[in-house]
Amino acid sequence: MDTLPTIKVMLVDDHTVVRRGLATFLSAYEDLELMGEATNGLEAVSLCRRHQPDVILMDLMMPKMDGIAATRTILSEYPDVKVIAMTSFEEEELVHGVLGVGAISYLLKNVTADGLAKAIREAVSGRSTLSPEAAQVLIRGTRPVDQPKCDLTEREREVLNLVVQGKSNRQIADALVITVATAKAHISSILSKLQVASRTEAIAYAIRHGLASL
């Protein structure tokens, strides 16, 4: 029986009880390896430089350096690291802030163990996971326009629909029988035309304006 590749995970949270709970979650899955813990953003940056994890579970409200600043710093140096924001709040400023600097997912801390494990695996594959509350914030907060932009080509609409379905670049390429490079180019064009900064914002925009559906 094939074994899943090991995913190195780092925890960042200033509350010991939260870190212990998340560590217990991770220990239940053979493919998830806890490789380090940090209590604030400064420690997270330092630890990431030493170990370069695959995924970081990042709290947002911390002393010394908050999760948004830490995420920005880490991803500027290690763009391949996947950051999953984890918080007790779904405030609009937090959601937009951390996704805007490159976090791939946003979860509330009441997520189940299976839900967390799934989000970690999805992140490694390049797919976002948003709590329902965060998704609603993104949909509400998409910048208003008089009319939705409709200058996407037919192919870009097909790509956007697959992005909304959570498909990775490889899966999009396979589905449309194009190269991964072409899929990436289409996504870059879509983000530019919709004037959004990330796939998650594109998803929110598409749903809000009826360009695609879940």
- Specify the higher pLDDT residue, 4 or 11: 11
pLDDT confidence of residue 145: 46
Transcribe 87-140 into DSSP letters: ES---HHHHHHHHHTT-SEEEETT--HHHHHHHHHHHHTT---B-HHHHHHHHH
Query: Does residue 141 carry a pLDDT above 70?
Result: no
Note the pLDDT of residue 12: 94
Stronger pLDDT, 196 or 70, i.e. the higher one: 70
- Cα-based torsion angle of the residue sequence 121, 39, 133, 77 in order, rounded to the nearest 10 degrees: -60
How much of the chain is in helix, strand and coil states, percent to nearest 5? 50, 15, 35
Across 147-169, average pLDDT:
81
Per the structure block, which two tokens stand in for 45?
Answer: 């940056």
d(CA 167, CA 93): 27
Q: What are the chain's domains?
A: 7-140 (3.40.50.2300), 145-208 (1.10.10.10)
Name the packing angle between helices 132-141 and 199-208 (round to 10°): 70
What pLDDT digit, counting tens, does each position of 62-82 carry?
888 888 899 999 999 999 999
Checking if the pLDDT of 151 tops 50, the result is yes
Give the span between the Cα atoms of 56 and 34, in whole angstroms. Answer: 10
Give the integer Cα–Cα distance in Å for 203 and 183: 16
Q: Please state the pTM of the whole predicted model.
A: 0.67
| Banded pLDDT at 147 (limits 50, 70, 90) | very low
Residue range 132-137: mean pLDDT, rounded: 73
pLDDT at 209: 74
- In percent, the amount of the chain with pLDDT more than 70 equals 89
CA dist 163 and 170 (Å) reads: 11
Residue scoring higher pLDDT (96 or 68): 68
| DSSP three-state, residue 35 | strand
Helix (H) or strand (E) holding 18: helix 16-27
CA distance linking residue 86 with residue 7, whole number of Å:
18
